[in-house]
């Protein structure tokens, strides 16, 4: 008998995944795909939207044709800060521009002269100044630089909603995508910022739609519930909000280490903004205060340098056990000192590897430098109600990182959380009632506690 499942397309910058979850939220099917990038009209690297569209449609058709599964619903989790512009026939008008694409300084200054005269624009939109990563500024650029093409736009959607649109032809805007460092949303007024209205962008941005809405789509005479999609970081938080009622911080680790606090609703300060804090938006429309650190990226660079210098395999670090005697006590320093965070590398980047007796000592010192940054970053959004920190993603499997995190936060409960595919599961859970006849399983997230070390 075919197994009832939900299909999730999880679209990362690198990996694209198609996953099927059964009613117990177990993965029963998974396929991954790497897609080649293409170039936009300026010769800049970007996602190939044609290849991505083909992959999305073919992946869903493949699992629908799979006789072992009964597809009840489909939803989407995708990276943010990326817009698609469609014409009256629903066809894309532009490439899917890369959010890392450089932003013209003159255009940025012109925008700020018009809309940031009081100096509070980035406070109100809860977005650090990030150029193209402020996806709202991508809209402004498109209108200014390509006005004739912009006149053909009938709907603007973030990437997760565009992928949903491919299946339903329903244009939607999801609050989790609007609220993620887009410079579109006024967190104080809980509506679009006035610049969006003055520039007339609101008439093109698709209708704001509840995150749990589904539309019926017909696949070979089979009706399937299709969600509108979510921003991946916000989707990853959903399982934790479903299972834990007591206030917590989730440190989601990967290329970025993002500390997410759904229980801190105080307005962002200039100090927080200057240190790469921002607000995400939860799937219920509640702000989620966040602090970002580029530590996963630095880790990828450093392990290459260490392997080469000490003549070790690239993954040698995985075999190292935590040893407090290898911690450089003089490097502990004052944890309350302001440390450059965000995209800034740790102090390890300036250290001479010849000063370390062996790989293990160097790696311990590197992780300590990362933890000092992590302490500063997470502390920016920490409030008194928080008693617990969960860590998921790559660093949750790193005993040195986890042990030192417990050391610098001795009064908090520190847990490594094992929840693979958290973004995909979050996207499935948000439309649970539309496809699943069973209650949520009670033990989906595995936890491993780490205690503060006593040297």
> What's residue 220's pLDDT?
78
pLDDT at 48 exceeding the cut of 70: yes
Look up the pTM and report it. Answer: 0.88
- Cβ atoms < 10 Å from Cβ of 211: 27
| pLDDT tens readout for residues 69-105 | 999 999 999 998 999 999 999 999 999 999 989 999 9
Q: Mean of the pLDDT values across residues 163-173?
A: 97
- Gap between the Cα atoms of 227 and 73, Å rounded: 8
**Full set of structural domains in the chain with CATH:** 3-228 (3.30.420.40), 233-455 (3.30.420.40)
pLDDT at 455 exceeding the cut of 70: no
Q: What percent of the chain has pLDDT over 70?
A: 100
Q: Name residue, tokens 């302490």.
A: 375
- Gap between the Cα atoms of 40 and 421, Å rounded: 31
Contact 6, 75 (CB under 8 A): yes
- Gap between the Cα atoms of 210 and 273, Å rounded: 28
Q: What percent of the chain has pLDDT over 90?
A: 80
Task: Provide the CB-side half-sphere exposure for 102 (13 A, CA).
Answer: 6
Beta 214-219 vs 222-227: how paired, if at all?
Answer: antiparallel
Q: Mean of the pLDDT values across residues 182-190?
A: 92
Q: Which residues of 370-398 are buried (b: 16+ CB within 10 A; e: fewer)?
A: bbbbbbbbbebbbeeebeebbbbbbbbeb
For the chain, the average pLDDT equals: 93
SS3 assignment, position 455: coil
pLDDT at 396 exceeding the cut of 90: yes
> What's residue 443's pLDDT?
81
Task: pLDDT band for 337, please (50, 70, 90 cuts).
Answer: confident
Give percent helix, percent strand, percent coil of the chain, each to the nearest 5.
35, 25, 40
Helices 359-379 + 399-408 axis angle, to 10: 50
Q: Name residue, tokens 């209650």.
A: 439
In terms of residues, how long is the chain? 455
| pLDDT tens readout for residues 242-258 | 999 999 999 998 888 99
pLDDT at 177 exceeding the cut of 70: yes
Contact 73, 224 (CB under 8 A): yes
Strand order from edge to edge, sheet including 248-253: 277-281, 287-293, 257-261, 248-253, 388-393, 413-418, 446-450
Measure CA 410 to chain center.
28
| pLDDT tens readout for residues 201-214 | 999 999 999 999 99
> What's residue 32's pLDDT?
94
> What's residue 255's pLDDT?
82
Tokens of 3: 């197994």
| pLDDT tens readout for residues 360-392 | 999 999 999 999 999 999 999 999 999 999 999
Task: pLDDT band for 454, please (50, 70, 90 cuts).
Answer: low
Contact 405, 367 (CB under 8 A): no
């Amino acid at each position: 008998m075919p197994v009832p499942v939900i299909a999730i397309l999880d679209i990362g910058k690198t990996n694209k995944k198609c996953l099927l979850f059964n009613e117990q939220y177990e993965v029963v099917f998974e396929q991954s795909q790497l897609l080649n990038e293409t170039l936009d009209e300026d010769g800049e690297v970007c996602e190939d939207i044609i290849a991505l569209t083909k992959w999305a449609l073919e992946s869903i058709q493949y699992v629908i044709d799979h006789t072992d599964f009964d597809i009840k619903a489909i939803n989407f989790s995708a990276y943010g800060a990326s817009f698609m512009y469609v014409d009256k026939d629903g066809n894309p008008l532009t490439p899917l521009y890369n959010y890392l694409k450089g932003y013209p300084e003159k255009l940025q200054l012109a925008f700020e002269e018009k809309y940031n005269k009081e100096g509070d624009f980035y406070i109100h939109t809860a977005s650090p100044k990030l150029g193209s990563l402020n996806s709202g500024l991508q809209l402004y650029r498109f209108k200014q630089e390509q006005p004739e093409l912009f006149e053909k736009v009938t709907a603007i959607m973030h990437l997760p909603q565009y992928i949903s649109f491919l299946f339903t032809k329903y244009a939607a805007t999801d609050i989790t995508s609007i609220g993620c460092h887009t410079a579109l949303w006024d967190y104080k007024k809980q509506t679009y910022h006035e610049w969006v209205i003055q520039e007339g962008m609101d008439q093109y941005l698709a209708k704001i739609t509840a995150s749990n809405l589904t539309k019926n789509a017909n696949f070979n005479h089979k009706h399937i519930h299709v969600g509108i999609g979510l921003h991946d970081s916000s989707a990853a938080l959903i399982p934790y909000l479903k299972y834990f009622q007591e206030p917590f911080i989730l440190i989601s680790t990967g290329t970025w280490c993002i500390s997410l606090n759904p229980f801190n609703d105080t307005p962002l300060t200039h100090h927080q903004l200057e240190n790469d804090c921002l607000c995400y938006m939860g799937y219920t429309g509640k702000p989620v205060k966040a602090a970002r650190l580029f530590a996963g990226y630095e880790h990828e660079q450093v392990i290459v340098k260490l392997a080469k210098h000490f003549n070790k395999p690239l993954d040698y670090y995985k075999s190292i056990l935590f040893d407090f005697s290898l911690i450089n006590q003089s490097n502990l320093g004052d944890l309350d000192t302001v440390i450059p965070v965000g995209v800034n590398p740790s102090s390890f980047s300036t250290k001479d590897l010849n000063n370390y007796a062996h790989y293990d000592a160097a790696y311990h010192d590197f992780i300590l430098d990362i933890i000092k940054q992590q302490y500063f970053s997470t502390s920016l959004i920490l409030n008194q109600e928080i008693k617990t920190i969960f860590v998921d993603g790559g660093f949750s499997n790193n005993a040195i990182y986890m042990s030192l995190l417990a050391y610098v936060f001795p009064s908090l409960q520190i847990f490594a959380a094992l929840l693979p595919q958290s973004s995909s599961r979050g996207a499935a859970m948000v439309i649970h009632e539309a496809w699943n006849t069973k209650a949520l399983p009670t033990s989906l997230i595995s936890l491993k506690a780490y205690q503060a070390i006593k040297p």
